């Protein structure tokens, strides 16, 4: 399973109680405004934090940002670092909130 993940699929899996590896690559102020409980690693800090994610190398990692651009770059970077199953949340937190209003 690789590639993108939709907000609908993510919501179904979270509602089912799955324990997921989620990385939020937005900035801290964006995370404070609204988040889905991912691990906050701003895109600019991802390269320095990749060693801390060794346990996730062979696991599914779902990455999101505001709309999908930064997370797509993060997924590309993680894949080049050897992550086997990094996935981008299509539409980011904007799409998430459209499907899952607070």
Q: Is a pLDDT exceeding 50 seen at residue 28?
A: yes
| 93 in any annotated domain | yes
| 48 in any annotated domain | yes
Percentage of the chain beyond pLDDT 70 is 98
Residue 53 φ/ψ region, left for φ over 0, alpha for ψ in the -120 to 50 degree band, beta for the rest: alpha
Domain range enclosing 88: 7-99
Instruction: Assess whether 65 carries a catalytic annotation.
Output: yes
pLDDT tens figures, 47-75: 999 999 999 999 999 999 999 999 999 99
For the chain, the domain total comes to 1
CA atoms within 13 A on the CB side of 95: 17
| 39 in any annotated domain | yes
Residue tagged active-site, from 10, 65, 89, 90: 65
Which pTM value belongs to this model? 0.95
User: Which CATH number belongs to the domain containing residue 90 in this structure?
Assistant: 3.40.250.10
DSSP state letters, 77-99: HHHHTT-SEEEEBTTHHHHHHHH
| 2 in any annotated domain | no
| 73 in any annotated domain | yes
């Amino acid at each position: 399973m690789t590639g993108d993940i939709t907000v609908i699929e993510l919501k179904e899996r979270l509602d089912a109680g799955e324990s997921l590896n989620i990385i939020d690559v937005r900035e801290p102020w964006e995370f404070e405004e609204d988040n889905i409980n991912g691990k906050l690693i701003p895109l600019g800090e991802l390269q320095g934090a990749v060693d801390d994610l060794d346990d996730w190398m062979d696991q599914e990692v779902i990455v999101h940002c505001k709309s999908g651009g930064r997370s797509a770059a993060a997924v590309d970077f993680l894949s080049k670092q050897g992550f086997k199953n990094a996935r981008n949340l299509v539409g980011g937190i904007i799409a998430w909130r459209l499907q899952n209003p607070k």
